[in-house]
Amino acid sequence: MIKRKVVLVGTGFVGMSFAYSLFNQGGVNELVLIDVLKEKAEGEALDLSHGLAYSPNNMEVRYGDYNECKDADIVVITAGIAQKPGQTRLELVETNSKIAKNITKNIMKSGFCGIIVVATNPVDIITYVVQKTSKLDPSRVIGTGTMLDTARLRYMLGEELDVNPVDIDAIVIGEHGDSSFVPWEYCNIGCKNILDIAKQKNKTIGDLEVIRDEVKNAAYEIIEKKKATYYGVGMALTKLVKAILDDEKTILTVSTYLNGKYNEEDVYVGIPAIITGSGVRELLELDLNEEDQKKLDNSCNLLKETIEKIAV
Ligand code: NAD
């Protein structure tokens, strides 16, 4: 296997769920852990290394500093504070944008020229901050966007219809937050549009929107019950990182830069995009109906208003 190196900044719940998932799926031979709490990163590296005898490929896992980013293929940022019960993602913005700026400067000082993947919330804004600070091409700075929301939607539709989520081609787009939405016209189960399936079952779009509300509220419910959410996003990060490393040309609802497409300017938001070894190759520009375009405009306006309040 050619050398593939990933650096993870932030070894909390989300970071380590990603690291554990990547470790189990394989495909990387160097994983470096960085955290402001050096001992935590060191402990996590040791703990993970002890599973090597049972992992699919040999991998060097160690803790380190930002010099490690110099020859990394991908740096994943999961550092920052997380939502507390009742808090929205947008409320984390001031603290996490300062942390993200600082981390990005350190990454770039190393001479890094790979791809940065961001999961820290509010993910669309933090990805924007990382891109502006790094000055990397926007195609090389990617947020997890609505990947987790999309996975939750596919799971919940799967439960409702008793179908494997893998066969559910449905997406959530917009802000990774309360203004996200489902463009139902573009959601299919197998080859059949979900609106046709709903009609046959005497269900309305209102019934589908109930599922969308459950997706939207999933994080609040989990945080209320167990303080944080991390396995789902850990899997989403693994999917995105492997899509880049394997040049998969796969379509994922990542947070990506819009500058003209969807009539939106200078904003990162969750949209389906083709992911390759060079990052985002192309956005899929869906022909949204008027109502859905308004929902996307609303998400983007909300994100832009929040960006204006912080110094980027
Ligand atoms: P956590 O508190 O468990 O971990 C955060 C880690 O970041 C800690 O280990 C902390 O020491 C480290 N850190 C803080 N400041 C740092 C700095 N300046 N440099 C390096 N490391 C630093 O939190 P968590 O549950 O892992 O959540 C992390 C982030 O992921 C939060 O912003 C959370 O909202 C977000 N999140 C995103 C999604 C998504 O879908 N994008 C889903 C869940 C959580």
How confident is the model at residue 286, as a pLDDT? 97
How confident is the model at residue 86, as a pLDDT? 84
State the Cα–Cα distance between residues 91 and 121, nearest whole angstrom: 9
Residue whose CA lies nearest to ligand 1 atom number 33: 82
The answer to whether the pTM exceeds 0.95 is yes
The token duo for 160 is 């409702």
Q: Does the Cβ of 15 fall within 6 Å of ligand 1?
A: yes
The token duo for 237 is 């990060």
Q: How many other C-beta atoms can be found within 10 angstroms of the C-beta atom of residue 272?
A: 22
Residue 250 identity (one-letter amino acid):
T
Q: Does the Cβ of 35 fall within 6 Å of ligand 1?
A: yes
Q: How does DSSP classify residue 174?
A: B
The secondary structure element, H or E, covering residue 34 is: strand 30-34
How confident is the model at residue 1, as a pLDDT? 63
Cα of 230 vs centre of ligand 1, distance in Å, is: 10
Ligand 1 pocket test: pick from 14, 40, 47 the residue with the most ligand atoms within 8 Å of its Cβ: 14
State the Cα–Cα distance between residues 171 and 44, nearest whole angstrom: 34
- Picking from 198, 202, 143, 199, the residue whose alpha carbon sits closest to that of residue 174 is 143
CA geometry: angle 40, 45, 49, nearest 5 deg: 150
Q: Does the Cβ of 126 fall within 6 Å of ligand 1?
A: no
Residue whose CA lies nearest to ligand 1 atom number 9: 12
Q: Give per-residue pLDDT as tens, 141-160.
A: 999 999 999 999 999 999 99
Cα of 275 vs centre of ligand 1, distance in Å, is: 24
Which atom belonging to ligand 1 lies closest to the Cα atom of 236?
40
Cα of 284 vs centre of ligand 1, distance in Å, is: 30
Looking at 69-146, list the stretches that DSSP marks H as alpha helix, in order from N- to C-terminal side: 93-109, 123-134
List the catalytic residues: 176
Ligand 1 pocket test: pick from 16, 21, 35, 101 the residue with the most ligand atoms within 8 Å of its Cβ: 35
Is the CA virtual torsion 33, 35, 38, 40 positive or negative? Answer: negative
Q: Does the Cβ of 280 fall within 6 Å of ligand 1?
A: no
Q: How many other C-beta atoms can be found within 10 angstroms of the C-beta atom of residue 242?
A: 20
The token duo for 199 is 């009609």
Torsion angle of the four alpha carbons 109, 310, 180, 226, in this order, in degrees rounded to the nearest 10? 80
Which atom belonging to ligand 1 lies closest to the Cα atom of 118?
41
Q: How does DSSP classify residue 57?
A: S
How confident is the model at residue 89, as a pLDDT? 85
Residues of the chain with pLDDT under 70: 1
Q: Which residues pair with 254 in a beta bridge?
A: 271
How confident is the model at residue 83, as a pLDDT? 84
Which atom belonging to ligand 1 lies closest to the Cα atom of 119?
41
For residues 157 and 194, the answer to whether their CB atoms sit within 8 Å is yes
For residues 212 and 243, the answer to whether their CB atoms sit within 8 Å is no
Q: Does the Cβ of 66 fall within 6 Å of ligand 1?
A: no
Cα of 218 vs centre of ligand 1, distance in Å, is: 18
- Picking from 156, 74, 142, 154, the residue whose alpha carbon sits closest to that of residue 107 is 74
